Amino acid sequence: MQKHDMTWMLLISLMAFGSANAEDDAIHIRTLAASCAACHGTNGNSVGGTPVLAGLDQGHFTSQMLAFRSGERASTVMHRHAKGLTPAEIEQLAHYFAAQPRTAAITPTPVE
């Protein structure tokens, strides 16, 4: 095999590895975001009682999460969640939630 062929094979391998890592990162962030759903609703669309994260400005999300993480912003549970995230994960979650469309909360109709 010629050196040129080996170089192309290496580049193709690296590109495939990079896309696999990007896909793994996306799955990881969707998994982290799913854990937020317990309080903040599916895809960040809270039905009340907690802030809506869907469509939130990335800078605002990041600054608030870093404030929870450092203890600068008081909270009941968010400081614990934020401390479990790396700054890179917080940035990725900020991007994820900013990309989610906001939807109107649907309140169940009481059965009479």
pLDDT given at position 8: 56
pLDDT given at position 47: 85
pLDDT given at position 93: 95
- Residue-wise pLDDT for 30-40, tens only, equals 999 999 999 99
Q: How far apart are CA 79 and CA 69, in angstroms?
A: 5
- Residue-wise pLDDT for 48-100, tens only, equals 889 999 999 999 999 999 999 999 999 999 999 999 999 999 999 999 999 99
pLDDT given at position 97: 95
Rg of the chain over Cα atoms, rounded to whole angstroms, equals: 20
What is the maximum alpha-carbon separation in the chain? 79
Residue 112 counted as domain residue: no
Mean pLDDT of the chain: 84
Residue 111 counted as domain residue: no
Domain count for the chain:
1
In the chain, which ranges are E strands?
A: none
| CATH number of the domain encompassing residue 61 | 1.10.760.10
pLDDT given at position 92: 94
Is 5's pLDDT higher than 60?
no
Residue-range definition of the domain harbouring residue 91: 3-98
